[in-house]
Amino acid sequence: MGAKLLEGRPIALKIKEALKKEIELLKQNYKKTPYFVCIHVGENPASEAYCKAQIKAAEELGILYDLRRLPKETSQEVLIKYIEDLNKDNSVSGIIIQMPLPPQIDGKMISRFIKPEKDIEGLHPENIGNLIFGKKGVVPCTPAAAMELLESTGIDLYGKEAVVVGHSEIVGKPLVLLLLNRFVTTTVCHIATGERGALPEHVARAEVLIVAVGKPNLIKGEWVREDAIVIDIGINRVGDKIVGDVEFDKAAERAGWITPVPGGVGPLTVAMLMRNVVEAFKMQMTSESKQ
Ligand code: NAD
């Protein structure tokens, strides 16, 4: 393996240490503790794992956390009312809704019912709008994690050629905005690019390659550009193993940097969520003190 490993855990640790100190100061200043609520509708093993990671991180950092479980038959109207009550509750700094949601609820629409300043996933249209204008605020967690990993290489991103594979609302699209805000020349590939057989030619140009699809070994190692930075966001269960979307061993022979899966983006995503809770808390405290 020629590539250096881009591991998420050491960076997550540093971020959490800094957050812990900041939270202590915030508690002293405002006599109030950041507190977020996670709404989990129905049952889903992947969501359970993410909830557990949230609880652990919140406990480590001194953030209050509440997991609210709603039955799988909860209607969209009931969920919206539930969110609106949390919006009105001044003790709640942040709200996260676990995805996927049962089919009777429109998962793509639901974030807009969370008050933007409590939207700790950064998916409310107002927060996505702020991202377009490059305004500081809450940024979707997984794209923010990918940017942290890129920054950690110390490589100047200005003018670099990036290729993002995957254009979902929660990962690919916000990531493109974050890259553009850093003046990275960015190409986005998606299912139609794949169907056209054009992935290899795009991937071959990428000095920065970020993949978020959810298909094991979709990106062949031999396509990867020499010395590229490869961030693999994909999480796929193959037998008893978790693998990414990139053919790791072969890609690692060509890349300059590569994330392991697991152990790359995943551990940083929760740290980014905790950072968003703190940002949301600070925004609310500032606006309360202005009133
Ligand atoms: P999604 O299903 O919403 O989107 C998948 C994207 O891949 C779409 O843009 C689609 O057009 C594209 N695509 C599908 N087949 C393709 C092909 N053959 N060629 C090119 N593009 C193709 O998925 P998502 O929610 O963005 O998640 C993507 C992956 O990232 C999943 O494996 C998910 O588990 C993982 N993920 C990881 C984290 C983390 O914290 N590490 C967070 C979120 C998602």
**What is the residue-level pLDDT of the chain in tens, covering all 291 positions?**
799 999 999 999 999 999 999 999 999 999 999 999 999 999 988 888 899 999 999 999 999 999 999 999 999 999 999 999 999 999 999 999 999 999 999 999 999 999 999 999 999 999 999 999 998 779 999 999 999 999 999 999 999 999 999 999 999 999 999 999 999 999 999 999 999 999 999 999 999 999 999 999 999 999 999 999 999 999 999 999 999 999 999 999 999 999 999 999 999 999 999 999 999 999 999 887 777
**Ligand 1 geometric centre to CA of 32 (Å):** 38
Residue 79: what are its φ and ψ, rounded to 5°?
-65, -40
Q: Whose CA is nearest to atom 18 of ligand 1?
A: 194
Query: What is the rounded distance in angstroms from the CA atom of residue 34 to the CA atom of residue 61?
Result: 10
- Whole-number Å distance, alpha carbon 1 to ligand 1 midpoint, is 26
- What pLDDT score was predicted for residue 46? 80
* Nearest protein Cα to ligand 1, atom 15: 191
Biggest distance spanned by C-alpha atoms of the chain: 59
Query: Distance between CA 21 and CA 15 in Å, rounded?
Result: 10
Q: Helices 141-152 and 172-181 meet at what angle, rounded to 10?
A: 40
Which residues have any ligand 1 atom within 6 Å of their CB? 142, 165-168, 170-172, 189-191, 193-194, 199, 212-215, 218, 233-236, 265-266, 269
Coil vs helix vs strand at 122 = coil
Q: At 173, is the secondary structure helix, strand, or coil? A: helix
What is the pLDDT at residue 211?
Answer: 98
One DSSP character per residue, 56-103 reads HHHHHHT-EEEEEEE-TT--HHHHHHHHHHHHH-TT--EEEE-SSPPT
165 CA → ligand 1 middle, Å: 8
Please say whether the beta carbons of 58 and 274 come within 8 A.
Answer: yes
210 CA from centroid of ligand 1 (Å): 11
Taking Cα atoms as reference points, which of 170, 209, 158 lies closest to residue 187?
Answer: 209
- CA 191 – ligand 1 centroid, Å: 10
Phi-psi region of 155 (alpha: psi -120 to 50; beta: other; left: phi over 0): beta
**Ligand 1 atom 22: residue of nearest CA:** 191
Element (H, E) at 186: strand 185-189
Residue nearest to atom 13 of ligand 1 (CA): 191
Helices and strands per DSSP (H, E), number in the chain = 10, 11
pLDDT at site 143: 98
Q: Which of 41, 116, 121, 126 is nearest to 77 (CA)?
A: 41
